[in-house]
Amino acid sequence: MAERDGDLGAVVAAARGGDEAAFGVLVDRFRPELTLHCYRMLGSLDDAEDVTQEVFLLAWRGLAGFEERASVRTWLYRIATHACLGRHARDRRRRRLLASTTVMDGVAAPVVATVPWLQPVPDDLLDRVVAREPDPAAAVASRETVEVAFVAALQHLPPRQRAVAVLRDVVGWPADRCATALGTSVPAVNSALQRARAALRRHLGPDESAWRARPAPTGDDRALIRRYIDAVERADDVAIASLLAPDAVVSHQPGAGGNDTTEPAWYAGVDTILEAWAPALHGPPLDMRWQEVWANRTPGAASWIRLPGTTEHRPFALTLLRVERGRVAEVAVFRPERLEAFGLR
């Protein structure tokens, strides 16, 4: 990621002199990418936004001591990384992870189902980061390393391994800068990175190129999502089956899409999916509304439901769809708690 903040020298000088408006310029400049960095570290947009606010408070308090031996960006990323590590250490919810080998009815848990607190991030935030980094390579890296499966897999790494993996493979820091930021040695950074990459391959598949270079969604994918939403709205089993890959996998986060248990659920195969969805599709009529959304560079849909005897629709779920070779290969259903982050209610 390019440093490109040399033009901020006057702003930093003013901020160090106590100019709150100048510091606000720094906040506006770096908030989107720091929020995204914290999101990768923590897996929760709620937590990422909270910690990013904490980062700027720490930066404001420590600005007088900033000696400009590193760039403003490097300084803020170092603060953000340590703030995320501190949040992890303090948060007792962080939290029981399901083992990646957990199997239900012969189907291994998709990695997105193993992190109960995982939250999708709206593409609007990603667009704001890319707008600051017009280099096409930076835009590609932003997409490849923000998919929910990758973010979920990161949560399985020990915190400092996760920090090394994000700083080295996402932010693009050299090993010596990473070692300085984390207060360790270059050999320790290299060892942590090797172990982190091995763990990511266990969760995401051994062919690293397959999950690092997944093609970006296309116009055909958008059309497929619209057909999927239409088929679900019409409760058309035949149409739904035609859009799903034969080995498609569905996962439900606890509390999402009618899953009232405290545990996630997942299942695979077209027949099993239609059987599981039958009560909602063909039971008592439910008044549902759907809207296409994009999160983590992935197509999906937000949904609301109006139950019999009520007058208002309430948020039901946020669903992301992984499309492969013209079919829906994975359906991940999340709680709708952050629909407001997408400009939705």
Give the residue range(s) of CATH 1.10.1740.10 domains in the chain.
1-94
Tokens representing 56 are 């700027």
pLDDT in tens, 174-219: 999 999 999 999 999 999 999 999 999 999 988 776 666 566 777 8
- 83 touches 55 (CB < 8 A): yes
pLDDT in tens, 205-260: 887 766 665 667 778 888 999 999 999 999 999 999 999 999 999 999 988 776 77
Give residue for tokens 């080998």. Answer: 101
Determine the average pLDDT of the residues in 303-324. 89
Q: What's the mean pLDDT when you consider all of the chain?
A: 87
Overall fold of domain 1-94: Rna Polymerase Sigma Factor; Chain: A (1.10.1740)
Assign residue 269 a region: left if phi > 0, alpha if psi is -120 to 50, beta otherwise?
A: left
Give the residue range(s) of CATH 3.10.450.50 domains in the chain.
219-342
Cis before 201? omega within 30: no
Split at pLDDT 50, 70, 90, the class of 141 is low
CATH class of 219-342: alpha beta
338-to-69, 287, 295, 322 alpha-carbon distances in Å: 39, 21, 11, 20
